[in-house]
Structure 1
């Protein structure tokens, strides 16, 4: 469409689109801030709010104490296991030393070393006893840790049951909260969309249309990017209800526009050829003829074999004629002949008139 415009007009159209987009960008930024702050109108509900607060507090205190006790037992178990490992290592080292010493004694068969055998045997017995004591302490801590873990699991099950009992009223409250927030988004977005539809229907010929077009872009963005993605997942009634309303509105105005268009076409077709020609803008007529569409009835231009098409076969509008000076076949809506420059009504050329 821009190719048929003069260079200044083309630049003006581009600059107006830039203004529309910039204006829409600022509106989108402001609208995004407003829509983002809508959920702050009220705090979303929490599951804890709908449980027995006294029982919930006691259970959580007991659970925290069990967690703390479990941590202490784990630390104690690790420490005792290190002590057990150290006692085991000491016993194994002493046992290995004793066995080596016994081998040496058997080789020397020195009876004077018998008291040493007894002493070392007692030392090994002491080390073995310490190892067993360390093992017993570890086993005791393991029993305590198991009991603490079982108690903690029981408390957690009790806590889960308490919260599960509160889930139904919580889900209802969350649904109401989401619907209120969505209703606020809807209350902000739908009027914008309605205003945008009214501007498109009534103000497209206004000299302030570039700014209005920016508002229309903003309204469409607000609807498709600020409202639709936040439709509640279980709000099917809202989703389809909004879709039905918008489709009905669009269909209503579409049918009205089509009826007005058909009535206008019928009225134009009842006019004489000269009356229709006076109502047609030359630029628009030239653009339509360039794509083989009749400017009068907007039907495709039909041809009959090799014969040149000078009139529309549907409405009889003259599409092509001949120059009064050079007889060149030309578009009937040209103001001047493209060959000799003679005016369409047989007037002299532009250069001649200037001269």
Structure 2
């Protein structure tokens, strides 16, 4: 997956744009973490209206809070789950969802205002503009998808659709990945096009891309685990109950919907994917330790460490019946692991393997080790 040439003009402008994109990555990551905590605390359905502009201002008076609470009392969640909740208890769940929505709005402002300024000042390379417009469109779609998700829990059953929850998560991860990849392409140009060492790194790059895809799949399977509350059953490890394969696997009707609608199957699949991911990351790390050079090595080490931390957090979260603090750390570290693997895949695409040395201009120099002599 080579990076297209995005640089042109002033290096200072390039660094500014890259820093702006990295700020966007940080905000998206924060939104993902807060969104996870919102889900874990059961706060996602506390705001029953979507007001993109006026909703920026929270209730500022006792009357405002009473109106907000009255609207919530008309929702299925209050009637079926939280009947008798006090105003103080409502405020606690309200603020989590409010922070999540506010971060989404902040991301929009942090993107559109500098983007307009950069365009007016002609600081953005023409080749980069379509990608930035795509990111803006995906960000807007994420807001709409988030409300579509919340709406699924405001009708009859006070629980958001696992399908919509996972779609919301998937789009957020996609926006994060595209933004980070674009920032790295600006900061680290010169993917090994036509480089004599490119072929030598092809195997590592393919392996890294496969493991990155597996990490994304595992992360999304976690969305179904969260949406189905599947972490609250079979709280044993490595076995599920008394056996390796639970007796009620594939319990949905029809059976092929079980990975998305059956709690046992969702947890079983997440476990299998997590074990495969841990093995894949460890194998990739070992291969990179032998062959990779330059900036790829620290990314590989970071991915290896994050994978084992993630496994420990996942097991602890399961055994302790999903405490909010551990579950939130597990979700946050999933993004750390994904980031490390994305950075590794990017760097391996620059053909920094087996003695290829990066030159100041972005090219590579083949040393004796690389050439075999």
* TM-score of the pair, normalised by structure 2: 0.23
Higher relative contact order (CA 8 A, sep 6+): 2
Higher helix residue share = 1
* TM-score of the pair, normalised by structure 1: 0.24
Larger Rg: 1
